[in-house]
Copies of this chain bind each other. A is one copy, B any other.
Amino acid sequence: MNNIPTLPNTPAVTGRSIIAGRPVSGAEGTHRSVQPVDGSALGPEFGFVGAAEVDRAARAALECFDAYRAVDDERRAAFLDAVADELEAMRPQLVERATAETGLPVGRIKGEVGRTGGQFRLFAREVRLGAFHGLRHDSALPERQPAPRSDIRQRRIPLGPVAVFGASNFPLAFSTAGGDTASALAAGCPVVVKGHSAHAGTAELAGQAIARAAARTGMPEGVFSVLFGSGSLVGQQLASHPAIAAIGFTGSQAAGTALMATAAARPRPIPVYAEMSSINPVLVTRDAIRADAAGEAAGFVGSLTLGSGQFCTNPGLVFVEATDEADAYLAEIREAVASSTGQTMLTASIRSAFDSGVERLHGAGATTHAEGEAGAGPNAPAPRTLLTHAATFAERPEMHEEVFGAAALVVVYRDEEELSRALSALGGQLTATLRMTEGERDLAFARRLLPQLERLAGRIIVNEWPTGVEVIDSMVHGGPFPATSDSRTTSVGTLAVERFLRPVAYQNLPESLLPAVFADPSLPRREDGALVVA
């Protein structure tokens, strides 16, 4: 009965952005997703939005900010649960579209749908737990000398609308309905997503899930928008829009540092949480190799080639002590790599960056160590390992940069001093992995090395592989620059909600003015110096 366009009744890719709950056809050029497996285009055509729509989405987010942050915890949690329900209900559509747009296998995408819904449920649980409010209370001391103290309370409130830029390599779990969006919504921040053009259809479907859940649970419409448009134009406009209060980003170091610069240059700078670049060093001890050289090699090459090496935590660097065992290990790796086959990468440009990255390592003096077979289609390069010495590695910054894909550099070191110098040359990392025995030699080595690994990375792993990120309370998917723009947090796990909050103190407020959370005795808090859990 009215002419305002509405979301389709069943999940469907329509080529439209979603602004404050309504589909919007952009008129600033068109775009089609491309199937990386054969380079063919996918329908329908997306109409790119321009500056007016970006402005509209950002304003709608700001306009509903006070209303959304006033939604009580249970209703906000119900909204997050509803997003999970909607995502799971459209699993067939998501799997079909995401596999076509990314070339990733069906099993992987099925798992990612589950993880993405699971993230929303985890943040719903986090909202219900209530620790994110950060409640603190110091009682009035009317008799204190020389001056009385009044009642002071503290809680955390959301920062404001958050702009989210999703990743190419996780079309669901790190994209439109990914961890940044889930944690920002959990914190009480409206979200405006710049939909990733490489998987625009998946992004539209995920956006429909969130918008539908928001409508169904009575959230204000401006709480969520997803925009399709030129990456640099929409991205820069969002990052500099006065309504935007924080940025979540997963992608390349170049794009991440560009957002950091834009955010820092604003009249009022805002925080940027960019997860960017990591080569995830693995250290394999002599005794671990002695115990099982073939197993160590198979585990490493499996982690290296998983998903065509397109994980933020892909092990791109292996340190091996120069011993006889190392030769056996290198031979096992060579065999495993040689018998591996390339899988289709996400996009043609990611594939070509892979080639340039391998070139860069060669240019810096690394030699070819092993090479597998290229896969079918234009974008499935052969997995490979390259070799260098720690002394060379320490001096060649080109060797410290990520090669996104299934290529790793094996670094042979003579002694611990050389190893330590090589590790010191590295920038911050998401992970650092030790492959070791529990023999005395290895334990002593690990104890000496741990402080350096803590300074280097956000997550330290023993005898597992880095490509596997649990979505739990204790996860850290973060680390010092350039792994991320901000080492003080994580983009995976419940701690991520804290990125979008800031403390506010309330001094001497009459009870009738105090925010309701202070009156809820079930919420964890700090009460006159003591931690209180109901």
Residues of B contacting A464 with CB < 8 Å? 150, 507-508
A153 to B473: give the CA distance in the assembly, Å: 9
Whether the pair B532, A450 counts as a contact (CB closer than 8 A) is: no
A475 to B154: give the CA distance in the assembly, Å: 7
* Interface class of chain A by DSSP: mixed
- Chain A interface residue count, CB cutoff 8 Å, equals 78
A65 to B452: give the CA distance in the assembly, Å: 11
Tell me the smallest distance from the CB of A257 to a CB of chain B, in Å.
9
A495 to B112: give the CA distance in the assembly, Å: 36
Whether the pair B470, A149 counts as a contact (CB closer than 8 A) is: yes
Tell me the smallest distance from the CB of A409 to a CB of chain B, in Å.
21
A66 to B532: give the CA distance in the assembly, Å: 33
Name A475's contact: one of B152, B268, B458 (CB within 8 Å): B152
Whether the pair B450, A508 counts as a contact (CB closer than 8 A) is: no
Q: Which of A438, A447, A488 has the most CB of B within 10 A?
A: A488
A137 is an interface residue with CB less than 8 A from chain B: yes
Interface residue ranges of A486-527 to B (CB < 8 Å): 486-490, 495, 501-510, 512-513, 524, 526
Tell me the smallest distance from the CB of A259 to a CB of chain B, in Å.
12
Tell me the smallest distance from the CB of A264 to a CB of chain B, in Å.
5
Residues of B contacting A476 with CB < 8 Å? 154, 503-505
Interface residue ranges of A420-440 to B (CB < 8 Å): 427-428, 438
Whether the pair A506, B460 counts as a contact (CB closer than 8 A) is: yes
Question: What are 12 A-B contacts with C-beta separation under 8 Å?
Answer: A152-B472, A152-B474, A154-B474, A160-B455, A260-B264, A268-B481, A438-B512, A443-B513, A460-B506, A473-B529, A478-B503, A487-B502
Given contacts A152-B472, A269-B485, 19 further A-B contacts (CB under 8 A): A66-B455, A125-B529, A147-B468, A149-B472, A261-B264, A268-B427, A271-B486, A443-B512, A454-B504, A457-B504, A458-B502, A458-B505, A459-B504, A460-B506, A475-B505, A476-B505, A478-B503, A487-B502, A489-B503
A residues lining the B interface (CB < 8 Å)? 65-66, 70, 125, 129, 131, 136-138, 147, 149-150, 152-154, 157, 159-160, 260-261, 264, 268-269, 271, 427-428, 438, 443, 446-447, 450-451, 454-455, 457-464, 468, 470, 472-476, 478, 480-482, 485-490, 495, 501-510, 512-513, 524, 526, 529, 531-533
